[in-house]
Amino acid sequence: MSISRKILIFGGLGLAIWGMGYGIWYAVFIEHQTLDGLGTALATGFMRAAENRAAESAAALADAASRSFVYVRQVDAHGHWIGLGLLLLILGIAFDRVGFGQRMRTYLAAALLAGSVMFPLGVLLETWNRGTGPQAVAVIGSALVILGLSGTAWGFARRNS
Amino acid sequence: MSTHEGAIGSGASIAQTTERFAPRSARRIFVIGGIGLILCGMILGDIFAAFILHPNANRIGENLLAATRAVAAHDPRAAGAAFQNIGGLLENRGTKVDAHSHMIGFGYIALLVALLQPYVAFSESVKKFLAKLFLLGAMLLPVGVFLIHYVGMAGSPFAAIGWASVFGDFGGFLVWVVCLCELAGLVKYFRARPAVRASDDFHSDRSWAARTLLSGGTVLVLIGFLHGSYYAGAHLFTYEAKDSELLSVMTTQAAAGDSAAALQAVADYGQLQGAKAVNVAAHAHVIEFGVLAILLAFFQPYVFLSEKWRRIWVVMLLIGSLMLPVFVLLELQWGLLAGGLADVGGLLVIVALFAMLVGIWRYTGKLDSSVGVA
């Protein structure tokens, strides 16, 4: 088996298992509590507004927005790690049909794997740090995936694939 | 060319087929179970979209409106009650979406693991056990998640997790364990360094159908990624800020007695949720269909249909795969017309997938008494 295929198949399977493990841990220990907290914060925001307690209402709604921000990214990271892992695995099976030399295929495989790890990681890091650092990690990761995928699609379309 | 010759025109001999794709083999269980899971997940998704999603969204809007009116009437209990209802409706919606997406996701994993079976260094009986365990977990999770809304916390000893959720999580755990075992089997195979490596017709097919699915699927995935990147870069953060801002406007304006502004905020909030939903759904579906097309490319030699019909199902699958996300995205502008066309796209994918499943099923010999097919 070529290096590029090994990178994609083992990397993809590892990433999918990691994503599933994270998902199970998240579903058991975090998700229900997060959703309960989100619902409570929203309800509190409206109830305090009805009692004319504007400051408390605003604080509760801000808390709900913050919880929603975190929830969306935690679910996104879980879904994208597994989805990208499966995609790598599938592409790995067919990667010998990409019509480039072995070195180029290895670069493409490495870009796909690095991007697939980095993109959801950057999204997840946004829950701890809302600065530009995690966003940059996510953007670079997604750019690597798009680059790798474009190269792969081009390689599949080449006549000598 | 006879149907049979056409069906195995890519070079798979009957002997090879029998050996690698035998009835009740682990690979066959994974393939048929996987396509079955994908079909069930898609049909559930269609039913969910038609009968639950839109009525549910309307009820959430009505309750949000009720909560805003309760704020204007300075009635905190009514506001709390409205949010209690919204929580229930969101749980109903969320669990249906989860059941739909996990069923399809597990179907993809089953097809993938089927492809890897020749490289998993376990005995056939162990492989079959793992295949059945996988399918058990893959059914248990979506069924458990689907039931969460109906079972609730009845009889549960836990603070926040009901029995349906426990069984659903256990199903996910089973799938996870099987994936780990398959990975161990792969490692064992490559460590053993067998003198003769397993060759597989699944990986070498160069037929028109396989090539079209492979390149078409990769393009669909690429389109999905580009759309996702555009959405994340251009809209995600602004939509989140707008979401928070509209909730704030609803409460402050209602409390101040400006009902018109508060009701406008509720209407805008509904539009915003719609915009978010169609973008996320289009992104997810075009990638999922792309992955499905790539996966199905590998199984084309074993779709026991004539070349003409194989091509028809391939084209139908790709058209449906593009139609559904495009018209989902247009739902905000075109309304029900776009929704209907998106459903037609989904139906095309389901029909094509079902036809391919029948083609693969025919390879078992259950429908064909011998090598030839009438």
Whether the per-residue pLDDT at B236 is higher than 60: the answer is yes
Compare all CA atoms of chain A with the CA of B89 and give the residue at the minimum distance: A39
pLDDT at position B199 = 58
Q: Is B156 exposed, middle or buried (0-12, 13-18, 19+ CB in 10 A)?
A: middle
Compare all CA atoms of chain A with the CA of B295 and give the residue at the minimum distance: A90
CB-based contact B278:B347 (threshold 8 Å): no
CB-based contact A46:B73 (threshold 8 Å): no
CA distance A49 to chain B (A): 6
User: Per mean pLDDT, which range of B65-74, B155-164, B200-209 is the poorest?
Assistant: B200-209
| Residues on chain B touching A142 (C-beta within 8 angstroms) | 225, 228-229, 232
Whether the per-residue pLDDT at A79 is higher than 80: the answer is yes
At B244-284, the pLDDT tens digits run: 899 888 888 888 888 888 888 888 888 888 898 899 989 98
Whether the per-residue pLDDT at B11 is higher than 60: the answer is no
Q: How many CA atoms lie within 13 A of B158 on its CB side?
A: 13
- When scoring B246, B247, B269 by the number of chain A Cβ atoms within 10 A, the one with the most, hence best to mutate, is B247
What is the rounded average pLDDT of the residues A22-46? 84
Measured CA to CA, the distance from residue B346 to residue B240 in angstroms comes to: 29
Report the residue from A14, A33, A153 with minimal CB separation from B160.
A33
Task: Give the pLDDT band (50/70/90) at residue B160.
Answer: low
Compare all CA atoms of chain A with the CA of B288 and give the residue at the minimum distance: A83
Residues of chain A with pLDDT > 90, as a percent, come to 31
Report the residue from B67, B91, B160 with minimal CB separation from A46.
B67
CA distance B141 to chain A (A): 11
pLDDT at position B12 = 42
At B300-352, the pLDDT tens digits run: 888 888 888 899 999 999 999 999 999 999 988 888 888 889 989 999 999 99
pLDDT at position B196 = 55
Task: Give the pLDDT band (50/70/90) at residue B198.
Answer: low
CA distance B32 to chain A (A): 18
| Residues on chain A touching B38 (C-beta within 8 angstroms) | none
Q: Which of residues 302-331 of B touch A (CB under 8 A)?
A: none
B196 C-beta neighbours (distance < 10 Å), count: 5
Hey, what are B119's tokens? Answer: 């490289």
Hey, what are B21's tokens? Answer: 């794709």
Measured CA to CA, the distance from residue B367 to residue B361 in angstroms comes to: 8
| Residues on chain B touching A56 (C-beta within 8 angstroms) | none
Which H or E element spans position A35? helix A32-50
Please provide the DSSP assignment of A57-115 as one string: HHHHHHHHHHHHHHHHHHHHHHHHHHHHHHHHHHHHHHGGGS-S-HHHHHHHHHHHHHH
B49 versus B143: the higher-pLDDT residue is: B143
Hey, what are B6's tokens? Answer: 């056409």
Hey, what are A159's tokens? Answer: 């006549």
pLDDT at position A160 = 57
Report the residue from A23, A93, A142 with minimal CB separation from B203.
A93
Q: Which amino acid is at B280?
A: V
pLDDT at position B18 = 46
B76/A142 Cβ within 8 A: no
**Residue indicated by tokens 């009835």:** B23
A11 versus B193: the higher-pLDDT residue is: A11
pLDDT at position B197 = 57
Specify which of A32-36, A89-93, B69-73, B131-135 reaches the highest per-range mean pLDDT: B131-135
CB-based contact B265:B250 (threshold 8 Å): yes
**Residue indicated by tokens 């990638």:** B287
* CATH 1.20.120 is right for the domain spanning B17-193: yes
A41 C-beta neighbours (distance < 10 Å), count: 20
Residues of chain B with pLDDT > 90, as a percent, come to 28
Whether the per-residue pLDDT at B84 is higher than 80: the answer is yes
Measured CA to CA, the distance from residue B106 to residue B123 in angstroms comes to: 23
Counting every residue written for chain B, the total comes to: 374
CB-based contact A120:A15 (threshold 8 Å): no
Query: CB contact, 8 Å: B230 with chain A?
Result: no
CB-based contact B338:B287 (threshold 8 Å): no
**Residue indicated by tokens 């870009």:** A111
Q: List chain B domain ranges.
A: 17-193, 202-233+283-374
Report the residue from B240, B247, B297 with minimal CB separation from A45.
B247
User: Per mean pLDDT, which range of A89-93, B45-49, B259-263 is the poorest?
Assistant: B45-49
A94/B297 Cβ within 8 A: yes
Query: CB contact, 8 Å: B203 with chain A?
Result: yes
Measured CA to CA, the distance from residue B345 to residue B348 in angstroms comes to: 5
pLDDT at position B202 = 60
Q: What distance separates the 2 farthest-apart alpha carbons in chain B?
A: 82
What is the rounded average pLDDT of the residues B220-233? 90
CB-based contact B283:B221 (threshold 8 Å): no
CA distance B170 to chain A (A): 9
Residues of chain A with pLDDT > 70, as a percent, come to 98
pLDDT at position B373 = 39
Whether the per-residue pLDDT at A96 is higher than 90: the answer is no
Average pLDDT taken over every residue of chain A? 88
B103 versus B90: the higher-pLDDT residue is: B103
A46/B80 Cβ within 8 A: yes
Whether the per-residue pLDDT at B135 is higher than 60: the answer is yes
Whether the per-residue pLDDT at A76 is higher than 80: the answer is yes
Whether the per-residue pLDDT at B20 is higher than 70: the answer is no
